[in-house]
Structure 1
Amino acid sequence: MAAQRSPQRQRPPLPADDWALFLDVDGCLLDFADTPDGVFVPPALPVRLDALSRRLDGALALVSGRTLASLDRLFAPLQLPAAGLHGLERRHVESRSGPPTAPPALAGIADAARQLAAKYPGTLVEDKRAAIALHWRAEPLAASDFEAFAMAALPQLEGYRLQHGDHVIELRPAQADKGDAIAAFLEEPPFRGRMPVFAGDDLTDEHGFEVVNARGGITVLVGAREPSAAGYHLDDIAAVHAWLGVESGAAR
C-alpha cells in the first residue's frame, strides 16, 4: 500500500455541491470508546449529515469497519448509503450486498478468542458474523497476546486476512476493502461524475485514499497517524465536525 504524501498538509476546502462525500465513522465522525457500543453520537451529527446528504443530492456515504446494522443503530433514524465491514457489506439507494458466509472454523476461533479475552478485563471479542474483531483499548497490555492469537488463527481461515486498526485486530474475508467500496459507489448515481472526497483516520482508510487520489479527488487524514497518502489534514473529530458544520446542526 502506497503512502507517499508529505505530512505538510493543509485543511481541506469546505464541502461543495458537486462532491461525492465518503466518511469513516470511528475516529473520524465519532470519538473512540472502550467498546464499539460505548460511543457517543452528538445529537446534531445525524441532523447535519442528513442536511448535507440532501445538499449533495444523496451523494454522501459512510464507509466503516462496523456492520451496516451497527451504523443504522448509531445514526437512527437516518439511513445513508454505507459500506460496512471495510467494504464487505454495501448498501446503496436501491440495492444491498451482504458479507460472505462465515466458514465453520470461525465459530471455534471466536470461542477461543473469548477465552483469551476473559484473562484481560475490559477487552472484547466483537462478532461481525463473517469476521471477528479483538479490541484491547481498555487494556493495552493485551495487544501482543491478541495479535499473536490472530496470527495463529489465520491459517485456519482460507481466504481471510488480518486487518490491523486502532487498538483492534480483525480476522476478516479478503474479498474487498474500503477502496473497493468507494470505487463501486463512484460507478453509480448519485455519486457518479462528482468530485470524490474521503475523510478517515485509520490504516484501513488508506485503501480509500488511494482510490480517491487516483480519481483526482480530495483525501483528508484525521489525526496524526503517519505515513498516509491523504492530501489534506484535520486535527481531530472536533475539526471534522466544524468542517462539516455539525456545530449548528443546520445546512450551510
Structure 2
Amino acid sequence: MDPVATALTKPPAVLAAGTSLFLDFDGTLVEIAESPDAVAVDARLRALMICLAEAFEGRMAIVTGRASADIRALFDGIPIAIAGSHGVELCWSDGRIETPERMAVLDHALDRMVALRLRFPGLLIEDKPFGVALHYRQAPEAEPEARAVAEELAQSCGLALQPGKMVFELRAPGAGKGGALRTLLADASMAGTTPIFLGDDVTDESAFAAARELGGFGILIGPPRPTAALYGLPGVSHALDWLEDACGRMA
C-alpha cells in the first residue's frame, strides 16, 4: 500500500493485551538537538521508561539510528532491548548481543566527509560503529554537495544511503528498522504479540510498514506527511503524554 498524505487520528488510549512496543529515540522520545551528544534523558523520560519496561515485561525495544552503546548509557540500568545503527546491532534485554564486523569502507567514507567539512565547517560528522552520518543542520547551504558525496559513496563503496532529518547516513546494506522489528518480534520474548511502533522520520517508514503487515500499527510523531503509519501525534511531548497514559492504564 502506498503511503497517503493525510491527517492522522490519535491512537487508541487503551492497548490490547499481547502487544509489543517499539520506539524510535530522536524526534520521538526526545526533541532533535543541534548535535547528537547534546541530548539528555530527564527524570520524566527515565521514569516513563521504567514504567514501560515493567508494564510490557520485556516486550519493548528502542529501534534507533544511534549506536546501541549510546542508548544503553542514556538508559543505564533499565532492562530494554535495543536495535541500534538502524537495526545492524541487536542487544536483547537479557544481555544477548548480535553485531557484525565493521565494514572497512566506512573509514574511506569518513575521510571523504572530513574533506567536505573543510569547505563547510558547520557540517557535523557522526562516526558510528556501523555507519557514518553527515549532519547539515548547522550548514543547510551544504545540503546539495552533502547529498552528492553521500550518493557517490553509497554507489562506489556498496553502502546503504539513509537520508533523515537534515542528515545523510551511510551504513552497512541489508539492515533497516523494519527488518529489526521483524527480528525482535520473532524472538521468544515477543513472539506472537502485536507490534506498535512510534517514530518520526522517513527512516521509520519501513518499521511502520512492518508493524502494519504483522497485524499492528505505526504512530507518526510530528506533522502529517505521506506515511505507512495508521495514527499520529503532533510532537514529542504528545508522544510522552500518550505513553504515560497507556502505561498507567496497563498498570
**TM-score strictly above 0.5:** yes
Residue 179 of structure 1: how far off its partner (Å): 0.7
Q: Kindly report which structure 2 residues correspond to 1:82-97, keeping only aligned pairs within 5 A, or say none.
A: 82-94=82-94, 95-97=96-98
Residue number in structure 1 paired with 2:177: 178
* 2:60 is equivalent to residue 60 of structure 1: yes
* 2:103 is equivalent to residue 102 of structure 1: yes
1:5/1:231 contact within 8 Å kept:
no
Residue number in structure 1 paired with 2:208: 209
Task: Give me the whole-angstrom Cα distance separating, in 2, the residues matched to 1:111 and 1:10.
Answer: 45
2:218/2:231 contact within 8 Å kept:
yes
Residue 19 of structure 1: how far off its partner (Å): 1.7
Task: Give me the whole-angstrom Cα distance separating, in 1, the residues matched to 2:14 and 2:221.
Answer: 16
CA deviations over 1:81-114 (Å, ceiling 9, x no partner): 01011111111134211144212x3323212211
> 1:118 aligns to what SS in structure 2?
helix
* 2:191 is equivalent to residue 192 of structure 1: yes
Distance 1:19-1:97 versus aligned 2 partners, 3 A rule: same
Distance 1:56-1:204 versus aligned 2 partners, 3 A rule: same
Residue number in structure 1 paired with 2:46: 46
Q: Kindly report which structure 2 residues correspond to 1:154-165, keeping only aligned pairs within 5 A, or say none.
A: 154-158=154-158, 160-165=159-164
Backbone CA RMSD of aligned residues:
2.1
- Which segments of 5 or more consecutive residues in structure 1 lack a partner in the other structure? none
Residue number in structure 2 paired with 1:118: 118
Task: Give me the whole-angstrom Cα distance separating, in 1, the residues matched to 2:248 and 2:121.
Answer: 38
Residue number in structure 2 paired with 1:234: 233
Distance 1:15-1:122 versus aligned 2 partners, 3 A rule: farther
Task: Give me the whole-angstrom Cα distance separating, in 1, the residues matched to 2:34 and 2:50.
Answer: 27
1:64/1:83 contact within 8 Å kept:
yes
Residue 189 of structure 1: how far off its partner (Å): 2.8
1:48/1:250 contact within 8 Å kept:
no
TM-score normalised per structure 1: 0.91
Residue 13 of structure 1: how far off its partner (Å): 1.5
Residue number in structure 2 paired with 1:222: 221
Residue 42 of structure 1: how far off its partner (Å): 2.1
1:19/1:197 contact within 8 Å kept:
yes
Q: Give the share of equivalent positions with the same residue, in percent.
A: 33
Distance 1:101-1:35 versus aligned 2 partners, 3 A rule: same
Residue number in structure 2 paired with 1:36: 36
Task: Give me the whole-angstrom Cα distance separating, in 1, the residues matched to 2:197 and 2:87.
Answer: 14
> 2:160 aligns to what SS in structure 1?
strand
- Which segments of 5 or more consecutive residues in structure 2 lack a partner in the other structure? none
> 2:195 aligns to what SS in structure 1?
strand
One-letter amino acid of the counterpart of residue 99, structure 2: G
Residue 5 of structure 1: how far off its partner (Å): 4.3
2:6/2:224 contact within 8 Å kept:
no
1:45/1:249 contact within 8 Å kept:
no
Deviates more, 1:171-180 or 1:114-123: 114-123
Task: Give me the whole-angstrom Cα distance separating, in 1, the residues matched to 2:141 and 2:126.
Answer: 18
Which is richer in helix? 2
One-letter amino acid of the counterpart of residue 223, structure 2: A
Task: Give me the whole-angstrom Cα distance separating, in 1, the residues matched to 2:238 and 2:107.
Answer: 40
Residue 238 of structure 1: how far off its partner (Å): 0.5
Count residues with an aligned counterpart: 248
